[in-house]
A = this chain, B = another copy of it.
């Protein structure tokens, strides 16, 4: 986060936490399970959400909030799946916060949503500090980012409930040993992790099984 006075910084986080808690109360009231999907740009968050939508549609009613600094690329991708979706453009903000989610929730018919995916801004640093009021927080990393992502950004993995290591099919072209990533995870943030190749629909079933069906 940026250098600001500590007192202001604390107020900022306390205020965010308060709104996040209120968001969660609202979601629970309507029976919505919400999942915050964090991860760097290009890690494959949007495609992973699309794959999960394909797997649960008809069984669960899905809604999506997509966050981007600018533009509606991800929003338009999700819309093609005929699920309710709200686009948040943060302008210059490098993370979503609870207040932005509070307003996005006003635009959704929560009574008709079972699972809400929230795609956070592409960034492995700042989103960690800002709870949104979701039930679970996950981090998506891509093997194309290199082997050292976890040990370089421990905080976001530690606050996450699960980790997705995506684009595993590209490891062989990158000289990346996935075992080195999972070793770091086991040491730094022994959360549940999943190996996926969302493009070729590998490993997403296991993620959906755990994230959605086992946690009903």
Q: How many copies does the complex hold?
A: 2
Of the candidates B1, B92, B151, B173, which one forms a contact with A93 in the assembled complex, judged by CB atoms under 8 Å apart?
A: B1
CB <8 Å contact, A144 and B170:
yes
Interface string of A1-43 (1 = CB under 8 A from B): 1111100100010000000000000000000000000001110
Question: Is A121 an interface residue, CB under 8 A from the partner?
Answer: yes
CB <8 Å contact, B2 and A126:
yes
CA–CA, A1 and B123, complex, Å: 12
Report chain B residues within 8 Å CB of A177: none
Report chain B residues within 8 Å CB of A73: 148, 151-152
Question: Is A70 an interface residue, CB under 8 A from the partner?
Answer: yes
Report chain B residues within 8 Å CB of A94: 1-2, 94, 123, 125-126
Question: Is A69 an interface residue, CB under 8 A from the partner?
Answer: yes
Question: Is A119 an interface residue, CB under 8 A from the partner?
Answer: no
Told that A42-B149, A121-B125 touch, could you supply 9 new A-B pairs with CB distance under 8 A?
A: A2-B2, A5-B8, A69-B125, A70-B153, A73-B152, A92-B155, A126-B126, A144-B144, A144-B167
Jot down 22 A-B pairs with beta carbons below 8 A, ordered by A.
Answer: A4-B4, A40-B40, A40-B122, A41-B146, A41-B152, A42-B145, A42-B149, A70-B152, A70-B153, A71-B151, A73-B148, A73-B151, A73-B152, A92-B129, A94-B94, A94-B125, A121-B125, A123-B124, A123-B125, A144-B145, A144-B167, A170-B170
